Amino acid sequence: MSNDPRLDLAAKASATSGSDTWHSTGVEGVLRPLHLADGPHGLRHQPDEGDHLGIGGSVPSTCFPPAVGLGSTWNPALVRRVGAALGSEASSLGVDVVLGPGMNIKRSPLCGRNFEYVSEDPHVTARIAAALVEGIQSQGVGACVKHFAANNQETDRHRVSAEVDDRTLREIYLPAFEEVIRTTEPAMVMSSYNRLNGTYTSQDPWLLTELLRDEWGFDGVVVSDWGAVVDRVAAVRAGLDLEMPPSGTDHLVVAAVERGELDESVLDTVVERLKRVQERVSTDTSRPLEHEANDALAREAAREALVLLKNEGGALPLAADRSVAVVGEFARTPRYQGGGSSHVVPTKVHSALEEFGTAVEAGTLKSVRFAAGFTLDGTEDPALVEDAVAAAREADTTVLFLGLPDSAESEGYDRTTISLPAPQLELLARVREAGEQVVVVLSNGGVVSVSEWQDRADAVLEGWLLGQAGGAAVVDVLTGAASPSGRLTETIPVRLRDHATYLNFPGENSEVRHGEGVFVGYRHFDTLDVPVAYPFGYGLTYTSFAYSGLEVTPAGGQDGENAWTVSFTVTNTGDRPGQEVAQLYTGVEQDHPTRPVRELRGFAKVALEPGESARIDLPLTGRDLSVWDAGDQRWSLAAGTYTVAVGASSRDLPLRAEITTAGDRYVRKLTKYCTVGEWRTHPIGGPVMEEVIASFPGLDDVPAEMLEMARSLPIITLRTFGLGVTEEMLDLLVDDIEARRQAAVARGEITG
Ligand code: BGC
């Protein structure tokens, strides 16, 4: 890294922290201050000093659906357009870097911030987040992926240590970050508040340097989450470029350099990285804000985010001759985003109630009568309930808006239940008794349970948090002006206690053990065949689809024999246009599972007219079938047969095929600390070991259980059994096997 002669030590140190809540520090002639702003689904641009908790006001900006909604669209092309709109608003407002997307895995449905995250699955998280980054960055604005890493709860978030084993990190919590960083090159990465296996992520050299930069090739800026830095010097040394907001501790960085505890070249590197980001971004404040067009886009995205869970007796779409009772305060006062730093002041808000009125005017519905039914602050008002019951009694259909109030979920704290508020469920029971047909529309950022009440509804439409145009989008889908096409990115459990994390969330004594390992979300439910209310990937439409013609063909390419194309046909077999989300899962047969029975590896959303078919090709790679080998720190593809399944959800997979592969032909190095069992099954060491064993007289008579016991002995222990084996003999054996292994690698017979 070149040392810029225009910068003295103090100036370099000042660049490693911001100048205020939203700006990096400028250095005359070298660095211009970068303007950063939340957030993931709309801008929280605070032109004045501002705050970072979403308490103070901000300039009105389009509030797109939060990540929970964008994820449910399963539509990266649409999300890219949302990203571009977000980027263009940022550019107009002079915001250089948008602090999003959030891409942590929804480990538990109780995480208060799940509305800001995409999914319980890394593949869909990666695809949606990548699309958002590409869109934002297409406008000359930087994106900042967050919160790196394993920030899966809000409880004790500034101190908690997520205790996660290596394989689980690599297979569940890191892959989305890895893919987005490798494929979209975001300008920034935000380290999280929490500790990971005991070390604060903002001062973890393995995470911020070895993995992120050396292995994944990230060359942008790592910024701390706001207020996350505990030990300033340790953070800079570990690879954290920018502390935000500034804690006024630059002098500690200077002192550490002067004392020889921190190499000054580390600061030069920070300056180079900041320069690189500033060269990549260029905002244009003369650009007009396109609030009208972006509101229309927010409505389109919200429509695709809606997930139709249940639709009996053709309850939906609502027929034009229906009189409708619209019940529930959420219809008039929509809950369309979550609380905390992502909170946006919208440019306008569409309520479902006002859109119902428009539908009546347009003749799409016969009549609408509104009753609030409940209050949002939880105070009970029997008169509201009676009014709602009366409205339901008169109407052909009651559309009941239920959900979680703002106070139930937010950044900064977790939920303790996934139930809807009891007064709302009592209202549903009363309305059910009075009304002919009941359609429930939900507003919630994290999953809510449906099992205890859904029998009382003819139809259930999961509306998540849909952004400022959500109310309009809901009416579009209820009336059939648009078809529902969202799918679940997280499983809806029957009971909270069925969830894999139930006993390990949110931990205690500032420690949370990820005891379920890789069995997160559907990976747990499907592997153990636990009944669920609605599975991962699920969602109904107003039409039907059929799957046929599965073919798996080798694709060649870089990965040679370990790359395939999975092709199949989807046909719209109903009588309305609709969109299907075709999903590809892989798995491996196991007697006692150590891997999930199936994992999402691809998907495609297709729009089809009635009777129309589409042929879909999805790529599959060796990495998709691999597990992380924590021993040798590498992805491992074992030889064998893998299953490929295609369909409409993790539990509706009509097409199945098998792939057989020779694997990656990796042969590991043997040492004297490997066990007898590992030696005997090793392709090079095994035959030699058999010869050695055969040379010992009397071993034939050793009882089978003793031989079995010996399997777990590291061979170094053989010195102590009076067999005449010495450490020197073992060293010679190890060297010999290693020489043979290296020769086989050189001949291309194996990899190693
Ligand atoms: C949040 C970040 C956010 C930052 C700035 C923090 O509290 O965790 O997601 O970008 O504040 O507002």
CATH numeric code, 303-534: 3.40.50.1700
Query: Ligand 1: does its nearest atom lie under 6 Å from the Cβ of 644?
Result: no
423-to-328, 393, 426, 488 alpha-carbon distances in Å: 11, 19, 5, 26
Query: Ligand 1: does its nearest atom lie under 6 Å from the Cβ of 154?
Result: no
Top pLDDT among 571 and 28 is at: 571
Unique residue bearing structure tokens 């969109």: 579
What tens digit of pLDDT does each residue of 248-265 get?
Answer: 999 999 999 999 999 999
CB 150 within 8 A of CB 111: no
CB 525 within 8 A of CB 491: yes
Alpha carbon distance 269, 265 (integer Å): 6
Q: Is the dihedral of CA 466, 190, 134, 137 positive or negative?
A: positive
Of all protein residues, the one whose alpha carbon is nearest to atom 3 of ligand 1 is 341
CB 308 within 8 A of CB 351: no
What atom in ligand 1 is closest to the CA of residue 54?
Answer: 12
Collapsed DSSP state (helix, strand, coil) of residue 104: coil
What phi and psi, each to the nearest 5 degrees, are found at residue 707? -60, -40
Compute, in angstroms, the gap from residue 167 CA to the centroid of ligand 1: 28
What DSSP state is assigned to residue 504? G
Q: Cα torsion at 643, 649, 651, 652 (round to 10°)? A: -80
Q: Which of 38, 121, 156, 225 is catalytic?
A: 225
Of all protein residues, the one whose alpha carbon is nearest to atom 5 of ligand 1 is 52
Query: Ligand 1: does its nearest atom lie under 6 Å from the Cβ of 117?
Result: no
CB 118 within 8 A of CB 416: no
- Per-residue pLDDT for 559 more than 60? no
What tens digit of pLDDT does each residue of 343-388 get?
Answer: 999 999 999 999 999 999 999 999 999 999 999 988 889 999 999 9
Compute, in angstroms, the gap from residue 189 CA to the centroid of ligand 1: 12
Predicted structure pTM score: 0.96
Residue of 34, 43, 225 best suited for mutating to test ligand 1, as the one with most atoms within 8 Å of CB: 225
Q: Token pair for residue 193?
A: 């508040």
CB 648 within 8 A of CB 581: yes
Alpha carbon distance 502, 241 (integer Å): 37
Of all protein residues, the one whose alpha carbon is nearest to atom 9 of ligand 1 is 341
Alpha carbon distance 540, 635 (integer Å): 36
Q: Which H or E run includes 391?
A: helix 382-394
Of all protein residues, the one whose alpha carbon is nearest to atom 12 of ligand 1 is 52
Collapsed DSSP state (helix, strand, coil) of residue 571: strand
Q: What is the pLDDT of residue 2?
A: 54
Top pLDDT among 334 and 718 is at: 334
Compute, in angstroms, the gap from residue 339 CA to the centroid of ligand 1: 11
CB 620 within 8 A of CB 612: no
CATH superfamily of 545-661: Immunoglobulins (2.60.40.10)
CB 645 within 8 A of CB 587: yes
Cis ω for the linkage preceding 506 (within 30 of 0): yes
Active site residue 156: no
Alpha carbon distance 398, 332 (integer Å): 15
Q: Which amino acid is at 65?
A: P
CATH numeric code, 9-280: 3.20.20.300
- Per-residue pLDDT for 1 more than 60? no
What tens digit of pLDDT does each residue of 579-597 get?
Answer: 999 999 999 989 899 999 9
306-328: average pLDDT: 96
Query: Ligand 1: does its nearest atom lie under 6 Å from the Cβ of 41?
Result: no
Q: What is the pLDDT of residue 693?
A: 80
Between vectors from CA 538 to CA 513 and to CA 86, what angle results, nearest 5°? 80
Top pLDDT among 628 and 724 is at: 628
What tens digit of pLDDT does each residue of 175-197 get?
Answer: 999 999 999 999 999 999 999 99
For the chain, which residues make up each domain, given as ranges? 9-280, 303-534, 545-661, 676-746
Query: Ligand 1: does its nearest atom lie under 6 Å from the Cβ of 733?
Result: no
Q: Are 9-280 and 545-661 in the same CATH fold? A: no
Query: Ligand 1: does its nearest atom lie under 6 Å from the Cβ of 226?
Result: yes
Q: What is the pLDDT of residue 735?
A: 97
Nearest to 730 by CA among 676, 668, 666: 676
Query: Ligand 1: does its nearest atom lie under 6 Å from the Cβ of 341?
Result: yes
Unique residue bearing structure tokens 């590409």: 134
Nearest to 128 by CA among 532, 518, 486: 486
Q: What is the pLDDT of residue 699?
A: 72
Q: How confident is the model at residue 96 (pLDDT cuts 50, 70, 90)?
A: very high
Query: Ligand 1: does its nearest atom lie under 6 Å from the Cβ of 668?
Result: no
Of all protein residues, the one whose alpha carbon is nearest to atom 8 of ligand 1 is 225
Altogether, the residues listed in the chain come to a count of 752
What tens digit of pLDDT does each residue of 198-211 get?
Answer: 999 999 999 999 99
517-541: average pLDDT: 98
Compute, in angstroms, the gap from residue 80 CA to the centroid of ligand 1: 23
Compute, in angstroms, the gap from residue 203 CA to the centroid of ligand 1: 18
Q: Token pair for residue 612?
A: 């129309």
What DSSP state is assigned to residue 717? G
Query: Ligand 1: does its nearest atom lie under 6 Å from the Cβ of 44?
Result: no
Q: How confident is the model at residue 161 (pLDDT cuts 50, 70, 90)?
A: very high
369-to-366, 647, 737 alpha-carbon distances in Å: 11, 41, 82
Kindly report the average pLDDT of the chain as a whole number. Answer: 95
Q: What is the pLDDT of residue 692?
A: 82
Cβ neighbours for 312, distance < 8 A, ≥ 6 positions apart: 458, 459
Of all protein residues, the one whose alpha carbon is nearest to atom 4 of ligand 1 is 226
Query: Ligand 1: does its nearest atom lie under 6 Å from the Cβ of 99?
Result: yes
